[in-house]
């Protein structure tokens, strides 16, 4: 099979018909060999523990399985075509299940690039076609692998349609990054960029698994699994994903490049940005650092929403935001929560703190009645008592105080801003025109003080997202839905602006 026949471009009445490069089959076979190998190894171990040793028969089973899968991969490759028409891309697959996907160019949010090890070996590039939809946001609508120069041409042609300008690949390569991100920054981002609760769960699980290893307590394996999935895996993937980070803007197109093993290049128009977020997890706040993210529908991948800046000093992040995406910022005359919001903010936390203290007290009286406890068991029970009666209530109360002190709300002609969070803090700048639905709510205590909270629903990179404000006077928050409607009524909202 030659490279020439691999992509098989055909010109059918002005339409270009392409097929994936044959190296896709190699990539699929390698994945299948690894998956089947692990599955058979685990099964063989289980069988041998029960005294059933099938020896080489496992290898035969493996070969048959991989052989069958290879035939399926080859057939799928042969019978899948990508037709580039005047208005849309059509993906046809005529295997056991017949499938036809129509992707209109006007619906495309971006065409991203991914280069894995297999791509590097065979000199190919995978093009990821992302649709402007919240339903299938974390997964590309179609992936087409071609020889690199051929992929560059296709990407240029489609980018020209999406971004209304010629996006020359050579031009991208020359661009200087707007912010210097060292790989040490990326590693710091991996460690401290995750939400604090995720880090705490992960590190607590690690601590417990170490403790169980030394003292023979049960649940050590479960704890290590929790640690791996909640902390270690996201951290490693984040470092691999954002290594060699570069970001730049050409006219209205922002491009992010990164990757240690696989290389990624994502481009999107600033018009497609629904909101930007400056996020500061607790430990990052102590270090005076922040990170910048953008909500762009159709751009998410397994790593989450597009990252515009890994953890850097807050000043650097703000400078970058002003250079990169000034459309999403405004001079903030922000107002914090009013003093009348203090009691409503604290009430439920104080209530739950008291419930925890009561539960802790009951637990304490119960455990005191238990006899024949060893020294370590007694110590563990005391730790639980302290957690229930002291630590958790204190965390709740401090959470309330920090939330009251930190939350803010501000608005401008086109945008509004919520500062939310207590330990971790985030500042969201949101376009009025991108709000899908708004809910202003006030509980019993909030009504007594004339305050409320506003929840807005918007399309996000990962699907739909709700963002909830702090506690402010109801009439101030009612201005959000009023402004959304006012912009629709007087024509300031124009859907064409965002196409």
Partner 1 sequence: MFIKITEKESELPYISVRISVRIPNIRLYMLVHQGDMNDEFAVDESGMTSDGYHILDPVSKRSMYLKNLIVFAILALFFGLGIHYADIIWETDTDLYRMGLLAVFILIAVYLIVSPIVFYRRYRYRLDDDKVDIRRGIITITHTMVPIERIHQVEVSKGPINRMFGLANVNITTAGGTATLEYLNEPVAESIASKLNECVVRLLKDRDQN
Whose Cβ is closer to partner 1: residue 311's or residue 452's? 452
Whose Cβ is closer to partner 1: residue 200's or residue 479's? 479
CB of 468 to partner 1, least distance (A): 12
CB of 434 to partner 1, least distance (A): 9
Calculate the CA dihedral of residues 138, 142, 143, 148 and round it to 10 degrees.
-120
Whose Cβ is closer to partner 1: residue 93's or residue 107's? 107
Q: Return the bridge partners of 268, or none.
A: 254
Report d(CA 47, CA 107) in Å as an integer. 52
Smallest CA-to-CA distance from 424 within 267, 311, 329, 332 is with 311
DSSP 83: E
Whose Cβ is closer to partner 1: residue 262's or residue 455's? 455
Q: Which residues bind partner 1 (CB under 8 A)?
A: 134, 435-444, 447-448, 456-459, 464-466, 478, 481, 484-485, 488-489, 493, 495-496
Report d(CA 27, CA 142) in Å as an integer. 17
- The alpha helices in 216-341, defined as continuous H runs, are 220-227, 233-242, 282-286, 314-324
Smallest CA-to-CA distance from 287 within 319, 311, 309, 316 is with 311
Whose Cβ is closer to partner 1: residue 220's or residue 344's? 344
Q: What strands, in cross-sheet order, belong to the sheet with 472-473?
A: 463-468, 451-460, 472-473
**Strand 80-84 relative to strand 15-18, pairing:** antiparallel
Whose Cβ is closer to partner 1: residue 164's or residue 251's? 164
Whose Cβ is closer to partner 1: residue 170's or residue 489's? 489
CB of 58 to partner 1, least distance (A): 48
Radius of gyration of the chain (CA): 27
| Neighbour count for residue 252 (Cβ, 10 Å) | 14
Whose Cβ is closer to partner 1: residue 103's or residue 237's? 103
CB of 450 to partner 1, least distance (A): 10
Could you tell me which residues come within 8 angstroms of residue 258 by beta carbon, excluding any fewer than 6 positions away?
A: 241, 242, 243, 244, 245, 246, 264
Q: How far is CA 360 from the centre of its chain?
A: 37
CB of 367 to partner 1, least distance (A): 12
CB of 141 to partner 1, least distance (A): 16
Smallest CA-to-CA distance from 308 within 296, 20, 298, 498 is with 296
CB of 101 to partner 1, least distance (A): 20
CB of 472 to partner 1, least distance (A): 14
């Amino acid at each position: 099979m030659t490279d020439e026949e691999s992509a098989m471009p055909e010109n059918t009445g002005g339409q270009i018909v392409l097929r994936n490069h044959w190296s896709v089959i190699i990539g699929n076979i390698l994945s299948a060999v690894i998956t089947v190998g692990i599955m058979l190894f685990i099964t063989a171990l289980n069988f041998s523990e029960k005294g059933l040793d099938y020896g080489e028969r496992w290898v035969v089973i493996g070969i048959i399985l991989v052989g069958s899968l290879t035939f399926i991969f080859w057939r799928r490759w042969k019978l899948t075509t990508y037709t580039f028409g005047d208005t849309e891309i059509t993906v046809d697959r005529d295997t056991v299940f017949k499938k036809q996907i129509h992707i209109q160019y006007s619906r495309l949010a971006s065409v991203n690039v991914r280069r894995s090890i297999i791509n590097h070996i065979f000199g190919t590039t995978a093009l990821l076609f992302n649709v402007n939809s919240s339903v299938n946001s974390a997964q590309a609508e179609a992936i087409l692998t071609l020889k690199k120069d051929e992929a560059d041409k296709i990407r240029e042609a489609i980018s020209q349609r999406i971004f209304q300008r010629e996006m020359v690949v050579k031009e991208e390569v020359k661009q200087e990054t707007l912010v210097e991100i060292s790989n040490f920054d990326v590693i710091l981002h991996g460690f401290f960029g995750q939400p604090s609760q995720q880090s705490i769960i992960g590190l607590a699980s690690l601590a417990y698994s170490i403790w169980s290893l030394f003292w023979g307590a049960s649940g050590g394996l479960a704890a290590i699994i929790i640690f791996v999935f909640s902390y270690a895996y996201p951290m490693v993937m984040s470092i691999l994903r954002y290594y060699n980070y570069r970001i730049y803007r050409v006219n209205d197109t922002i491009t992010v490049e990164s990757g240690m093993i696989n290389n990624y290049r994502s481009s999107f128009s600033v018009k497609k940005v629904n909101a930007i977020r400056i996020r500061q997890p607790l430990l990052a706040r102590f270090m005076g650092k922040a990170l910048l993210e953008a909500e762009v529908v159709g751009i998410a991948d397994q790593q989450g929403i597009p990252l515009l800046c890994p953890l850097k000093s807050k000043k650097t992040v703000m400078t970058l935001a002003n250079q990169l995406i000034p459309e999403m910022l405004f001079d903030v005359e922000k107002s914090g929560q009013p003093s009348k919001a203090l009691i409503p903010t604290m009430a439920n936390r104080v209530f739950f703190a008291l419930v925890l203290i009561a539960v802790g007290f009951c637990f304490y009286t119960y455990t005191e009645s238990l006899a024949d406890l060893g020294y370590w068991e007694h110590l563990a029970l005391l730790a639980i008592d302290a957690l229930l009666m002291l630590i958790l209530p204190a965390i709740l109360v401090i959470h309330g105080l920090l939330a009251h002190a930190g939350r803010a709300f501000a608005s401008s002609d086109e945008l509004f801003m919520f500062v939310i969070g207590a330990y971790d803090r985030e500042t969201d700048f949101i376009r009025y025109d991108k709000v899908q639905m708004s809910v202003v709510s006030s509980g019993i205590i909030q009504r007594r003080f004339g305050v409320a909270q506003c929840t807005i629903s918007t399309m996000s990179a990962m699907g739909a997202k709700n963002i909830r404000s702090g506690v402010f006077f109801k009439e101030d928050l009612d201005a959000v839905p009023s402004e959304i409607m006012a912009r629709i009524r007087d024509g300031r909202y124009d859907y064409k602006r965002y196409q």
